[in-house]
Amino acid sequence: MKYIVVIGDGMADLPIKELNGLTPLQSAETPNMDLIASKGVSGMLKTVPDDLTPGSDVANLSIMGYNPKKYYTGRGPLEAPSVGVKLDEGDVAFRCNFITEDNGILADFNAGHISTVEASELIETLNQKFYHYGKFYLGTSYRHLFVLKDEKSASLNSTPPHDVVGENIEVNLLKPAHDKNAVLLNKIMEESKDILIKHPVNEKRITEGNLPANMIWLWGQGVKPSMPSFSGKYGLKGATVTGVDLVKGLGIYMGLNNIHVPGATGYLDTDYCGKAKYALEALETHDIVFIHVEAPDEAGHSGDLKEKIMAIERIDNRILGKILDEVPGYDEYCVAILPDHPTPISLKTHTHDPVPYSMCSTSNSCDGVTKYDEFSVRKGVMGIKPGYEFIKSLINYSNHK
């Protein structure tokens, strides 16, 4: 049995007035998603428990078959292995965003999607300035890492920058404000402004009309997690196809192979066709491949309805279309489509709402659902399940004769 799981990050949404009360999934042309629903079974997944922050970290951990209440320790440590960072005892990894600050307001959580080349120069400068406190590690675009050797800092309260765009920075800094680690890290964030705004990279960005990466934002901290291997837990050899360090890191901790796709950017311009091509090649030597696409989430955070619909249609046409053409070459296969969490256009951030999923396989078992979207799948036989039961459901369904 071969499995392909396609995850459209943040793909689920709420009804939108401009779409006459439809969601982007309902409005988009998605014949391949609908085909999966028609030929298979559908349901809803509660990927994020109500007492955890609704992020891609918790949600993807859940989808990949791990109870986040048992294994989740923070976003930073999940991204660490994908940028070559081996966390030691007592290390705390923080996600480090380059952001745009404007008169005390968090104006943009991704600094105008600064390039990785530009970011590398800024990271080098930050390490020269703050080396005696901790170390910054280069990731991709605006997404980077900071490691502090003080385990107590893992208990600080931090805020994802994409949740507070347009808000006052000072009230959203690390807490409790009197904690010595919070004081230190908030000071680093504050001092980063003076360093970054004078940097040639930002001077050039401003001249060219781009948003400057004039501040860092530290959040999502935690210690190295401990989890069983995916193969040991489910008896399947797996791989990931993604342009995002978080999902790469999750895969590394789980013992999955990350398949490098040259054009996978973790943004709207990612190479959808390349992801499908490399995933199908990986399927020849693996039992299960997770294809993660960040684009719908980025569009959701930007409040860009047109781009979100376009991203959904590209997933359908360029990824699922290719996969559904090719997988019948295997005697037994199962294909699934789902988001990790909703990122509603109207909210520009994540929610805890359950997400829709559909899966079809050579078992030919179907439940009468003919459309893939947030509402149609509620009629499916799978009902609502905790996200971490998804892999078991996938295996049980595909082996049902």
- Per-residue confidence (pLDDT) for residue 184, from 0 to 100: 97
- Per-residue confidence (pLDDT) for residue 36, from 0 to 100: 98
Structure tokens at 75: 């976003």
* Confidence check: pLDDT of 340 > 90: yes
Q: Give the pLDDT confidence of 159-183 residue by residue, as tens digits.
A: 999 999 999 999 999 999 999 999 9
Give me the mean pLDDT over the 331-338 stretch: 97
Dist. CA 389–CA 63, nearest whole Å: 8
Q: What is the DSSP letter of 153?
A: G
Pairing of β 288-293 and β 2-8:
parallel
* Confidence check: pLDDT of 381 > 80: yes
Give me the mean pLDDT over the 60-64 stretch: 99
Q: Which of 33-37, 305-309, 360-364 has the lowest mean pLDDT?
A: 360-364
Give me the mean pLDDT over the 248-260 stretch: 97
* Residue 245 near residue 78 (C-beta atoms within 8 A): no
How many CB atoms lie under 10 A from the CB of residue 209?
7
Of 91, 110, 44, nearest to 244 by C-alpha is: 110
What is the distance of C-alpha 194 from the center of its chain?
A: 31
- Per-residue confidence (pLDDT) for residue 364, from 0 to 100: 74
Residues in the chain: 401
- Per-residue confidence (pLDDT) for residue 383, from 0 to 100: 97
Dist. CA 373–CA 42, nearest whole Å: 10
Q: Give the pLDDT confidence of 296-307 residue by residue, as tens digits.
A: 999 999 999 999
Q: Give the pLDDT confidence of 309-323 residue by residue, as tens digits.
A: 999 999 999 999 999
- Per-residue confidence (pLDDT) for residue 200, from 0 to 100: 98
- Per-residue confidence (pLDDT) for residue 12, from 0 to 100: 99
- Per-residue confidence (pLDDT) for residue 266, from 0 to 100: 86
* Residue 370 near residue 53 (C-beta atoms within 8 A): no
Give me the mean pLDDT over the 50-77 stretch: 98
Q: How would residue 401 be classed by pLDDT, with cut points 50, 70 and 90?
A: low
* Confidence check: pLDDT of 149 > 70: yes
The CATH architecture that domain 2-72+226-398 belongs to is 3-Layer(aba) Sandwich (3.40)
* Confidence check: pLDDT of 361 > 60: yes
Give me the mean pLDDT over the 218-247 stretch: 97
Which residue intervals of the chain bear CATH 3.40.720.10?
2-72+226-398
- Per-residue confidence (pLDDT) for residue 90, from 0 to 100: 94
